[in-house]
Structure 1
């Protein structure tokens, strides 16, 4: 059987994660200057789809080479079946989509992103996965910083109302803010683990400072709130490792503090959002959401097909755009997007999988009492926060991270079993010496 050298797989995964989490191709091909990048022009560039297709193809090959092991692992993941049925529905949705060609092409991309994430999540030990992810996040942080300092035409927005806001390698400042919020908290968690040591850990600390700076430089309300909320989640997750009585006291105290903060924000909403240059209507989002739920009610069961609602002239979204009075590009909410794409049937499948993954991530922390088990729970909170006011759920990087969070429990349980039994688990891939000393 064909065997791929393990070090080539490491390089492939690190490059793939960096590419999907923050490559600058969209930004550069779109011209850079201005407030927004013309994605229609950027998408026409052959480089981005070419590299994506190559990464997807190699991932599929990697899955085929060890399909027995991967199938065995998926059997222990209750949400895996829900995800498979959901993806099948995505593929079939081109049959009832208003734009079947768009639905068909985009569903292939989603399947490819799933293949990459499944290969990444099931072919390596969990600590290896975290290493690869942290390395990719650190590289992305440095590149975003360099774009802002050395290439301000691309790395900084120039048109009102976002003049001077950093966007790094992304097309908008909000994406940079959200991504750096995730990076900051992930690197914070890494400080409490032994996954990296010595100079590597010092480099992680430096990257964390850079990512925190970029959250502020992006002037993104979502990024700032996400950083605060995920940091709070980190403390809650640590409290879950305590004895039952201590856990109740700690979680109750944190919850009470968070509740008081939310109450203060609600009672001073105008002043709070005004400090960030926002209104209580969430920049017009509260106006379009009722219209979108009305459109969902017109096709409640199967929706408008994957990516079939937002399309060219003549799309169902034109009605919403007329009501809103501006060219609404998406639902500005990832969970509403699910219902538009696949109706309540697809919504129930996805939301069930999402809920199981979230509860499982909390259960793993309580069960293993290991700091490295916190990553999936924080990732789930990030996905919730980043999809409340933006439609990021089906974007390549967010979907890859969601699949990883869904499947990571398999590896955590395997590692936890090893730590408790001091025996080598049949399903854990052979780990080279340099990766096993963590």
Structure 2
């Protein structure tokens, strides 16, 4: 028996170390900045090295899956929608305008998902919070330190905004926003120690967020505060009252989306920002025309923004800059996978939020507010950046892990006897 416990502790340490290293490699911290040129750009040689840096995360993810295959298999069984969405890029090879590129990037996406499944099925939300506090909170603190120690590297060359240990200020903005989300979740935890940690995360996250001047990330952080209060309010309600509030929110969300679409430009002007979102609005008008050419299944996963595509050269020449992506996750999904991919993503998100709110009510001490917030702020961050279904990207993996965690625990609560929980409660 002592040997069995020692072996279990060893496996747990391996899981912790593996997940920490894999997430650090996929976070975009330090390595891209070290490989960048003085103006922040990356050469093709540097990009090739960054792709090699992602490779160890595949090995780690697959190795951890091999350690606990049963838990990961249950995660797959409870996430048919997500698996369909992940396999769709591979299927898009059949209609892709660049099959070899689609194959390479779809395989990278599939391999990187191993980390998300392990993180979701082997760590509870409270354990996930601790791991992410070290990875994302640590990167946020390090970025603030870098501003004082290495300002030449830590500040953007053009406008002096803080990018910290990341290649661009927007990447720091995303990480800082997630650090704020971690702080919110920690402040709502049952542990006094976790609540104190949450205060530190909130302060560091807000400071880095303001210094990065990332408007979308700042808006997402504000939305996270509002959503956390609304979710907790709905979770406390019962019966017809809860149903009425949920229906009201369903009607309110499209109205808020419309107000945001109409009023975002004037709001940016009032804040002294470019109402075209640094050229994104003219770019989107041309992208919409390309989406209409292949509305159902798209052009193929990850292949539109390549030099071999004549359509992208027309966009680049018209806009006067070489956009690397659509700078909008919804349009990027439509470009690659069409309306089929977008509808799968919408269905997956609505199910995750609905089940997550239920878990906040049924298991209030387990920290389910964290995955719910991650899913919700992903919707906002994708308004001006392309994060959905992005290979080798930590933000997409966190969205996926949140969806997997929620679906597994929801299924376990609905079928407690025949269906064992796929999330373990082993202490970190």
- Aligned partner of 1:210 in structure 2 is 204
Give the 5 Å matches for 1:416-427: 426-427=420-421
Displacement of 1:26: 0.8
Measure, in 2, the Cα distance between the counterparts of 1:403 and 1:287. Answer: 31
Q: Contact between 1:102 and 1:308, CA under 8 Å: does it hold in 2? A: yes
Measure, in 2, the Cα distance between the counterparts of 1:376 and 1:26. Answer: 27
SS at match of 2:336: helix
- Aligned partner of 1:387 in structure 2 is 382
- Aligned partner of 2:20 in structure 1 is 14
Q: Which of 394, 397, 417 is equivalent to 2:394?
A: 397
- Aligned partner of 2:176 in structure 1 is 180
Displacement of 1:364: 2.5
Measure, in 2, the Cα distance between the counterparts of 1:151 and 1:203. Answer: 26
Residues 154 and 404 from structure 1, CA distance in 2 versus in 1: closer, same or farther, beyond 3 angstroms?
A: same
Residues 42 and 340 from structure 1, CA distance in 2 versus in 1: closer, same or farther, beyond 3 angstroms?
A: same
SS at match of 2:367: helix
Give the 5 Å matches for 1:287-436: 287-312=282-307, 314-370=309-365, 372-395=367-390, 396-413=393-410, 426-427=420-421, 431-432=425-426, 434-435=427-428
Measure, in 2, the Cα distance between the counterparts of 1:88 and 1:248. Answer: 35
Displacement of 1:232: 0.8
SS at match of 1:205: helix
Could you report, residue by residue, the CA deviation over 1:132-190 in whole angstroms, capped at 9, with x for unpaired residues?
A: 2222222121222222221222211122xxx2100112222122122211211221221
Could you report, residue by residue, the CA deviation over 1:196-255 in whole angstroms, capped at 9, with x for unpaired residues?
A: 543x65344223211110111111111221111111111111111223488689989999
Q: Contact between 1:192 and 1:371, CA under 8 Å: does it hold in 2? A: no
Q: Which of 18, 30, 34 is equivalent to 1:28?
A: 34
Residues 315 and 103 from structure 1, CA distance in 2 versus in 1: closer, same or farther, beyond 3 angstroms?
A: farther
- Aligned partner of 1:170 in structure 2 is 166
Residues 277 and 251 from structure 1, CA distance in 2 versus in 1: closer, same or farther, beyond 3 angstroms?
A: farther
Measure, in 1, the Cα distance between the counterparts of 2:54 and 2:278. Answer: 33
- Aligned partner of 1:220 in structure 2 is 214
Measure, in 2, the Cα distance between the counterparts of 1:307 and 1:428. Answer: 32
Are 2:287 and 1:281 equivalent residues in the alignment? no
SS at match of 1:240: helix
Q: Which runs of 5+ in 1 are unaligned?
A: none
Displacement of 1:411: 5.0
- Aligned partner of 2:105 in structure 1 is 106
Residues 386 and 247 from structure 1, CA distance in 2 versus in 1: closer, same or farther, beyond 3 angstroms?
A: same
Q: Which of 42, 59, 72 is equivalent to 1:38?
A: 42
Q: Which runs of 5+ in 2 are unaligned?
A: 1-6
- Aligned partner of 1:116 in structure 2 is 115
Residues 314 and 246 from structure 1, CA distance in 2 versus in 1: closer, same or farther, beyond 3 angstroms?
A: closer
Are 2:126 and 1:127 equivalent residues in the alignment? yes
Measure, in 2, the Cα distance between the counterparts of 1:81 and 1:191. Answer: 33
Measure, in 2, the Cα distance between the counterparts of 1:399 and 1:149. Answer: 31
User: How many pairs align?
Assistant: 419
Q: Contact between 2:81 and 2:344, CA under 8 Å: does it hold in 1? A: yes
Measure, in 2, the Cα distance between the counterparts of 1:353 and 1:260. Answer: 21
Alignment root-mean-square deviation, CA: 3.5
Residues 256 and 124 from structure 1, CA distance in 2 versus in 1: closer, same or farther, beyond 3 angstroms?
A: closer
Length-normalised TM-score, structure 1: 0.83
Residues 101 and 154 from structure 1, CA distance in 2 versus in 1: closer, same or farther, beyond 3 angstroms?
A: farther
Measure, in 1, the Cα distance between the counterparts of 2:258 and 2:99. Answer: 46
- Aligned partner of 2:228 in structure 1 is 234
Displacement of 1:264: 9.2
Could you report, residue by residue, the CA deviation over 1:395-429 in whole angstroms, capped at 9, with x for unpaired residues?
A: 311220121111111454488689xx9x9x84456
Displacement of 1:257: 12
Q: Contact between 1:368 and 1:416, CA under 8 Å: does it hold in 2? A: no
Could you report, residue by residue, the CA deviation over 1:284-342 in whole angstroms, capped at 9, with x for unpaired residues?
A: 32222232122122122322111110002544312222343432321111011111111
- Aligned partner of 2:136 in structure 1 is 137
- Aligned partner of 2:82 in structure 1 is 83
Residues 378 and 249 from structure 1, CA distance in 2 versus in 1: closer, same or farther, beyond 3 angstroms?
A: same
Q: Contact between 1:27 and 1:37, CA under 8 Å: does it hold in 2? A: no
Q: Contact between 1:241 and 1:370, CA under 8 Å: does it hold in 2? A: no
Displacement of 1:259: 11
